Amino acid sequence: MITKFSRRDALKMAAAGAAITAWPAAGARAATPNKGGHLRLGSAHGSTTDSMDPATSSSNDLVQMTFFTVHSHLTEVNPDGSLNPLLAESYEASPDAKTWTVKLRDGIEFHDGKSLDSTDVIATMNLHGGEESKSPAKGIVDQIAGMKADGDHVVVFELKDGNADFPFLLAAPQLGILPAPDGNVDAASGIGTGAYKVVRHEPGVRIEFERNPNFFLADRAHFDSGEAITIADPTARQNALITGEVDIIDRVDVKTAGRLQEVPEVNVLDVVGTLHYTFPMRTDTAPFDNNDVRLALKYAMDREDLLQKVLRGYGTLGNDHPISPANRFHAAELEQRAYDPDKAKYHADKAGGINVQLSAADAGFPGSVDAAVLIKEHAAKAGINIEVIREPNDGYWSDVWMKKPWCACYWSGRPTEDWMFTDAYADTSAWNDSFWKHDQFNALLKEARAELEEAKRREMYLEIQRIVRDEGGVAIPMFANHIMAHRGNLAHPDTVAGNWDKDGGKMFERWWFS
């Protein structure tokens, strides 16, 4: 017996999100958007090391948005956090959630004219898996024991273990389907089935798009063309918006968001989601291989101070695990970790004293240098010495993150708990940025993934969050809202997604000029 998911059933599989309107994304307003125009985004991100290859890409928001703009995925996370088939027409699960049968839409073409078929899906998945893979999606694809085509438009996935959330994982930014005319993909080609084609890509400078005339969703892709321009400095980015050089900017500086709202013809958009600001410590490197050091630093952070001074209140307190209050299984019953210099000193003394460096740059997250300085001041009251190293913005994700022992970072969060933990904390993940290995955690994560009974699953995720909070290698002091600002002639759906920045990474596809 198999379980078939209709569109109504898919919408019931709700996960975290900032919005309440289901797909189509633009809701009642989607029928009347204007067509045309050239959208200009001023992006806080963009590095000379950026690549169109989703298996080797960095984690920054611009790269992920580009993948969502150029490629389409088998499934799509809706603005309300529920799931929708996309390139898939439907998907069906066996009772143990180990076998998933995905039926593809017919008649879909890649930018180069090739028709989408089962071979493309299998080759795309194979790109990310295997022992030698460095792909951020490796932890997802390695859950697959085997794949087979059942004709041109059906793919059967056999998982190593049951996973009730598997369709959500197919919406990962890196898993946009690539063409495989000879059974292999050209990963860096930039060719997809998405709403826009890449016209020019200058890593760290700009990326330009033009509408895909054969895009399969008629109520999307309203702009004729667009471009994303890297403007790393927040003041320069804001000035570009005010003077009309760009139509929208991301990562608005919280210090000036209120004043920016007062500028005529500028609207500030504040979206709650799962974005969180983190400080990963390499647990394979001394002194962070000692949990007393990690606990000392977690207790040495005044989270309320960070929330007010760094985020100006545009967010919520973090509790050293990555699951937001917006997530379905958020462990609200876990005691909130508070600033406690005495406990910090206790653990620091057990570790023999703490003298460490903290690397930060605003490329890590806006205000991360200020946050690092505040943490240094907080920790000093516990006798902990922190030297703040201000790193260059360019190359931060290739030269600092996952390289330096302790640094500033951010995660956009994930629609499901399993996805978040699998991407960033599982010992098999290429993005396990604390290099943390914990046998109980990994075993419980696997068990929770296959559990179909809601109450049991909730208890498992509660324990997982406790383990990460108390034994993990990442300090998470705060969750941040997504803050964008745009010119008054730029329109968007009533519901804007918060699962990723820039409307779930689909701003170019979902927005329009009024």
Query: What pLDDT score was predicted for residue 335?
Result: 96
Report, as an integer, the average pLDDT of 203-229.
Answer: 97
Question: Is pLDDT at 17 greater than 70 in this prediction?
Answer: no
**221-260 pLDDT per residue, tens:** 999 999 999 999 999 999 999 999 999 999 999 989 989 9
Note if the bond before 287 is cis, omega within 30 degrees: yes
pLDDT at 115 over 50: yes
CA distance 118 to 100: 14
pLDDT reading at 8 higher than 50: no
Query: What mean pLDDT comes out for the span 159-165?
Result: 92
> What per-residue string of b and e applies to 82-109 under the rule 16 or more CB within 10 Å gives b?
bbbbbbbebbebeeebbbbbbbbbeebe
Does the pLDDT value for residue 16 go beyond 70? no
Q: Which domains does the chain have, with CATH numbers?
A: 3-193+482-513 (3.90.76.10), 276-480 (3.10.105.10)
Residue pLDDT, tens place only, 117-152:
999 999 999 999 888 888 888 888 999 999 999 999
What pLDDT does residue 59 have? 63
Q: Which long-range contacts (CB under 8 A, 24 or more apart) does 124-127 make?
A: 124/175, 124/176, 124/177, 124/178, 124/180, 124/185, 125/175, 127/54, 127/55, 127/178, 127/185, 127/187
pTM attached to this predicted model: 0.76
What is the average per-residue pLDDT within 56-68? 85
The model's confidence at residue 483, banded by pLDDT at 50, 70 and 90, is very high
Distance, CA of 35 to CA of 151 (rounded, Å): 37
CA 232 from centre of chain: 19
Average pLDDT (336-343) is 98
Q: At 158, is the secondary structure helix, strand, or coil?
A: strand
| pLDDT for the residue 120 | 98
- The pLDDT confidence band at residue 13, using thresholds 50, 70 and 90, is very low
Q: Can you give the pLDDT at residue 132?
A: 84
- β-pair partners for 387: 357
Q: 352-364: per-residue pLDDT in tens? A: 999 999 999 988 9
SS (H, E, C) 430-488: CCCCCCCCCHHHHHHHHHHHHCCCHHHHHHHHHHHHHHHHHHCCEEEEEEECEEEEEEC
Nearest of 480, 65, 478 to residue 254 by alpha carbon: 480
For residues 382 and 348, the answer to whether their CB atoms sit within 8 Å is yes
Q: Is the per-residue pLDDT at 504 higher than 60? A: yes
Among 93-102, 159-168, 288-297, top mean pLDDT goes to: 288-297
Q: Record the tokens describing residue 110, joined without a space.
A: 């890649």
